[in-house]
Structure 1
Amino acid sequence: MFDKIRNLKNKKGFTLVELIVVLVILAILAALLIPALTGYIDKANKEKVIVEARMVVMAAQTEASSLYGKAGAGNNLSAATTESLNAAAAEAIKLAEMSSAEVGATATLTTDGKVKTAIYTNELYSVVYEDGSYDVYDVDALKDPADAGKKTDLNKFILTVEGFESGKAAIK
């Protein structure tokens, strides 16, 4: 009988109090780390949308250069037709790899074949490109009519030559 009592005392294990202390420590660590991790996730999503906007600007610039080259010597994009801008917008969708109907883009071209402004919008963020810089906005915060120039319609790519024609293509 004494052997059984000694065997019970020699068993190794954790008490209930020790387990509760460990769980409390883990809960405190989780409470500290979760807000920090969500900040990193938001920052990564903003960086991702900026990269997507850069792809849109590069695609628009490529198509603007192509249109400018087709215009011929001494001409500019003021003579671009709606059909040619529609075709350029469709090609820009392919170049920018815009395959989701939940994104949209607008690019304004100068008559000498450069991208003046571009707006890229997805379901969470809107990015405005102007003068070589990218500004990111939360789509939910852009409810004021004064913010209309900071987002664009989804499911479209619109190319406009400032002051002249515009063309658009649907994103499939």
Structure 2
Amino acid sequence: MGSYTLAVSVTVLSVASFLIYPSSGVSHDILTTICSKTQNHDACERSLESDSRTRSADLPKLSLISIELTMKQADHNHRTFSDLRDNATDPRLEDSFRNCVGFYKEMQAQIRAAYHLSQKRQYQKITELVQSERLAQECASGIPINCLEIDALTTTMLLAIKTSESVNQYIAKSLA
């Protein structure tokens, strides 16, 4: 009777571990391949792996995760530039931050459009991310001061966009 209980326990544990860590998830090798197309491979991998869903995600889910991470960064940057605009005492800076708020509002709409295309599994049609990259750069170039915090916001935004672009390009090629 003891060996039967042991066999049942092992079976239950095996099934439980499969449910917790399904083997159908995106492999580390695929993440490495995806992130090798970005300028900062390690940061790309850390970003994707920072979301606990990545471990068990298939490629379509990874697309959604990457776009959600991009939206989260765009939302953060939008709030930051709104706060900077509201607290600016220099009219030139206020105008620059106001422009950035507009750019990020447009970017949020583009990222939502990319998300909807991903939901429809139309990865080859996701071009909004490239437009978002241009807007982030336009915001940064329009600020008349050098500021490490603003540079960091822009760098983080561009990394999120590049990561999403790379994920969706990989998926479009692999499903073609």
Q: TM-score range by the shorter chain?
A: under 0.3
TM-score, length-scaled by structure 2: 0.27
More helix by share: 2
More strand by share: 1
